[in-house]
Amino acid sequence: MMRTFLTLACAALVLAPVPVVAQRGHIINRILPRRAAPPQPQLVGIDALRADFLARSGSDTVLFGGDSAILGVPARATLAAQAQWLRQNPQVVIRVEGHAAVSDTREHALAVGARRAEEVRDYLVLMGVPAYQVTAVSMGKERPSGVNARAVTILVR
């Protein structure tokens, strides 16, 4: 299980041929024991998990329109992929951060961010992710980026 996971993590971060080389290296090592295997990126812990999550879910971010918290078709597809990964990694704890537009007022933005974060949390739970894995947090308009009508899934541990 763990090895499968690590291979996947490698696949996520480095170019696709590398795992093949790794396998070949393994074989070559057996045939020619003195020849060193090519160096492998050592991905362990939360960074490896994050890389794998991102690669397999497609995105850690879903977008909304206006002040709404309605999940569109692309958002649902992303969350379904996120949920599948989370079900397979039940030891991972996530934080869903809901954001609102800079043009929103401070307190309404906190409420909009909260509604978005809780909408995403509820959808993930609906898709079979245990509720204890997910915390919903509003960032209001405190962390502006290019697109502010968004919710971001962050792997905490």
Which residue in the block uniquely carries the two structure tokens 């080389």? 21
Query: Which amino acid, residue 85?
Result: W
Count of positions (residues) in the chain: 157
Q: Which is nearer to another protein, 9 or 136 (CB)?
A: 136
Binding to another protein by residue 94, rule CB under 8 A?
no
Query: By rule CB under 8 A, what count of residues binds another protein?
Result: 25
Q: How far is the CB of 146 from another protein (least distance, A)?
A: 12
Q: How far is the CB of 79 from another protein (least distance, A)?
A: 15
Q: How far is the CB of 110 from another protein (least distance, A)?
A: 5
Q: Give the integer Cα–Cα distance in Å for 68 and 118.
A: 13
Q: How far is the CB of 123 from another protein (least distance, A)?
A: 11
- The three state secondary structure string of 97-137 is EEECCCCCCHHHHHHHHHHHHHHHHHHHHHCCCCHHHEEEE
Q: Which is nearer to another protein, 37 or 70 (CB)?
A: 70
Q: How far is the CB of 87 from another protein (least distance, A)?
A: 23
Query: Which amino acid, residue 52?
Result: D
CA angle, 46 then 6 then 17, to 5°:
120
Sheet of 134-140: strand order equals 61-63, 150-155, 94-99, 134-140
Binding to another protein by residue 67, rule CB under 8 A?
yes
User: Cβ distance 81 to 124 under 8 Å?
Assistant: no
Binding to another protein by residue 76, rule CB under 8 A?
no
Which of the residues 98 through 157 are near another protein (CB under 8 A)?
Answer: 102-108, 110-112, 114-115, 118-119, 122, 135, 137-138, 140, 142-144
**Residues at the interface with another protein (CB under 8 A):** 67, 69, 95, 102-108, 110-112, 114-115, 118-119, 122, 135, 137-138, 140, 142-144
